Structure 1
Amino acid sequence: MSESPMRVAVVSPLDVVAVGLAAMLEQHPDQVAVVELSVGFGADDPDVILYDAIGLHDGDGADLEHYVKETSAAVLVVSQDLRPDLASRALARGADGFFSLGVDDEQLLRAVLTATTVDDDGAVLDAGDALAVGHRLGQDVGLTPREIDVLTLITQGLSNQEIAEQSYLSINSVKTYIRSAYRRIGVTSRSQAVVWCLQHGFAPSPGL
């Protein structure tokens, strides 16, 4: 008996993106089934959620965090090449990987089919050169998820106290994460850290 098709949901505020991705996936009914997100999730969670990063442009990302934390689905971010900052923000919030809207039919299928395949370290396996599945901000220098969160908020202009309040950390913990992150990226000041982050794909403050 053959395996059931992988269940995939597409989340985008743009109909052209949602319809376009769904149409590409529906060309492979033996491997992929496009489904709607149910209100309650749980047992009906899809295997993969494709999340359009443009949703972070106008929103606060609460929906993305819900998909990451409250569903069992692998969450892949779909990003326009002209807005890498949005993909960076999505990855910092815990998305499993991302790929460009410029992918072709076969690349999209490969990204979806490998989204739930993990290596021995629990990281999503790379789906190929055209995709960035499995890539995370700061991966090349060994930043931890918490260090990434802190650097993201620093880049967006938050003070240590504001970071502590938003992340539910003590001010001393924030300072510890900042020091360890600075060591990993090779900087000694906040301004240097912001420059490094902007050069490595972190989302800038709206005022920058």
Structure 2
Amino acid sequence: MRGPLRLALVNDYEVVVAGLTRMLAPYAAQVRVVEIAANIPVSDHADLVLFDTFAQSMDNVRVEDVAPAGIPVVAYTWQNEPDVQKRALAWGAVACLSKTLSAARLVAALEDIRRGGSPDPGHTAAPSVDAAAPEETRDWPGRSEGLTERESEVMALLAAGHSNQEIAELLHVSINSVKTYLRHAYRKAEVNRRSQAVLWALDKGFTPDVLHRRVRGR
């Protein structure tokens, strides 16, 4: 009988992977987080890699930059457009799972994938991204300042120097949605101009991290 699934978590931000680690901790008998990485590919001792797309896009990062050949990668995203699963598979992921999943359903989906099957359709990108998994189980830059995850994603891309149009293309949302997210984020950050927003974001930890750590004892 195989032991718990060995899972590596990948994202540009340590706070994001730390939040995912906490979210999965109660399910250690089924899934063990053995490695977390930001901007560095994981090693080859995990069974699966969960790639959180916060402030990233499958359009501007290669699957081989996430994990070595032979280690299946699962995309983890709140994007809900109809072709998200198709794009994830074309990119090189073996599946695309929704951030709207509870921790229990996420674990079940990962176990399905490990067994070589397809996750239940309810485990793929869900029709509503607002019915998200409990926020206390996840984390992201800007959360403590009141920004939603999507507002924070937009602010992170803004801080990285992207235009509104580029942000819309990277996140596969409309330009009007980007403007709405920025308007809400500006209000919460108490800024009025783009330059002020960039400085605020950098001060609040929106600079991508470089991290590579094996989880002790795993």
- TM-score between the two structures when normalised by the length of structure 1: 0.49
**Which has the greater radius of gyration?**
1
Higher relative contact order (CA 8 A, sep 6+): 2
- TM-score between the two structures when normalised by the length of structure 2: 0.47
